Chains A and B, each alone.
Chain A
């Protein structure tokens, strides 16, 4: 045992569960937010801080902080760019797309033949259609993807956007009801 910790500075399993759910509702917007969380679950502030840091380090939390609504910061256009990549090249091309810094999301997904031949999906967000198209052109040229069959799916309308809640609680899991806004 090289780590020496005092038991009072670690959360109990029930406290961890409570913290996971509490922060999903949002960090308290006060001077000492972690102190306030600690008081709510009956622990020390340092235990809360250590626990959240460890969740970030080990990947349970992918990002910590704000999530921005695209529309409100002027990113009103998005395109889903999809590629039909030979199976043995998907990982390599996925990594190159990631490294390009030109896309916001990049995933491998299954084809659904004969209706859907594409297995690599990227999202590109922009302030207008021209900016998105220019970004796609850059991606194709920078990485050399001209030879792959692709499609670009712009969005016309957004019918629903809301943040997901994943931890079981007594209230409805989604706070925003379906709404429709003109989009792209």
Chain B
């Protein structure tokens, strides 16, 4: 990733035009040719620097649900339990964190009932209690990078 790539990401993280020639529009703002911009975005997408190029949906509006959940897992069992948890396709992130509750993961499901089904399934598969902490209120979502 070079300085031009960083400039492109910095520009695009705040949104993308919804017009007939959006790449040409962005390219002219950045002083690039449209072809170069497209090549670079394609490469950044292929090497997974950009994990997606499209919509971030308000998941509840599509009938789905997100939740954050945590477990307290002994250190010696951690890798094995992480493997079991991550096998479920509904687990979107999983981090080890420094707390008695040391495994934190996001559950993403296509239906609201799906979350508690995943929680039950995880408790059965692992034998550990799952603390489910669904969001009650969203104050802010805006992950912008200072590149």
* Residues of A near any B CB (own CB < 8 A): 20, 23-27, 29-35, 45, 49, 52-53, 55-56, 59-70, 72-75, 78, 80, 90-91, 94-95, 97-98, 103-110, 112, 115-116, 121, 123, 125, 151, 153-164, 166-168, 172-174, 178, 180, 183
Q: Is B118 an interface residue (CB 8 A)?
A: no
Q: How far is the CA of A60 from the CA of B104 in the complex (A)?
A: 27
CB-CB under 8 A from B42, the residues of chain A are 29
Q: Is B52 an interface residue (CB 8 A)?
A: yes
Which residue of B is nearest A45, CB measured? B20
CB-CB under 8 A from A64, the residues of chain B are 15-16, 18, 54-56
What are 18 inter-chain pairs, A to B, with CB distance below 8 A? A25-B54, A27-B53, A31-B23, A33-B22, A34-B19, A56-B18, A63-B15, A64-B55, A65-B15, A69-B50, A72-B49, A105-B141, A105-B143, A106-B140, A108-B136, A110-B133, A160-B92, A164-B92
Q: Separation in Å of the B100 CB from the closest CB of chain A?
A: 7
A178 B56 Cβ-Cβ under 8 A: no
Contact A26 to B140, CB < 8 A, known contacts A80-B97, A116-B131, A159-B94: no
Contact A55 to B110, CB < 8 A, known contacts A29-B42, A98-B139, A183-B95: no
* Residues of B near any A CB (own CB < 8 A): 1, 6, 9, 12-16, 18-24, 34, 38, 41-42, 45, 47-59, 61-62, 64, 66, 68, 70, 72, 82-83, 86-87, 89, 91-101, 104-105, 108, 110, 131, 133-145, 147
B18 A62 Cβ-Cβ under 8 A: no
Contact A26 to B53, CB < 8 A, known contacts A162-B92, A166-B108: yes
A94 B137 Cβ-Cβ under 8 A: yes
Which residue of B is nearest A178, CB measured? B86
B38 A29 Cβ-Cβ under 8 A: yes
- A-B pairs with the 9 shortest C-beta distances? A178-B86, A65-B16, A94-B139, A98-B140, A108-B137, A159-B94, A153-B97, A164-B108, A106-B139
Select which of A90, A108, A166 is within 8 A of B59 by beta carbon.
A166
Q: Separation in Å of the A35 CB from the closest CB of chain B?
A: 7
Q: Separation in Å of the A63 CB from the closest CB of chain B?
A: 4
Which residue of A is nearest B38, CB measured? A29
Q: How far is the CA of A20 from the CA of B53 in the complex (A)?
A: 13
Contact A80 to B53, CB < 8 A, known contacts A63-B15, A103-B140, A157-B95: no
CB-CB under 8 A from A168, the residues of chain B are 110
B145 A73 Cβ-Cβ under 8 A: yes
A67 B137 Cβ-Cβ under 8 A: no
Contact A67 to B96, CB < 8 A, known contacts A49-B18, A60-B61, A110-B133: no
Which residue of A is nearest B131, CB measured? A112
Majority secondary structure of chain A interface residues (helix, strand, loop or mixed) = mixed
Select which of B9, B57, B89, B100 is within 8 A of A68 by beta carbon.
B9
Q: How far is the CA of A16 from the CA of B115 in the complex (A)?
A: 27
Select which of A24, A90, A95, A110 is within 8 A of B134 by beta carbon.
A110
Which residue of A is nearest B56, CB measured? A63
Q: How far is the CA of A94 from the CA of B137 in the complex (A)?
A: 9
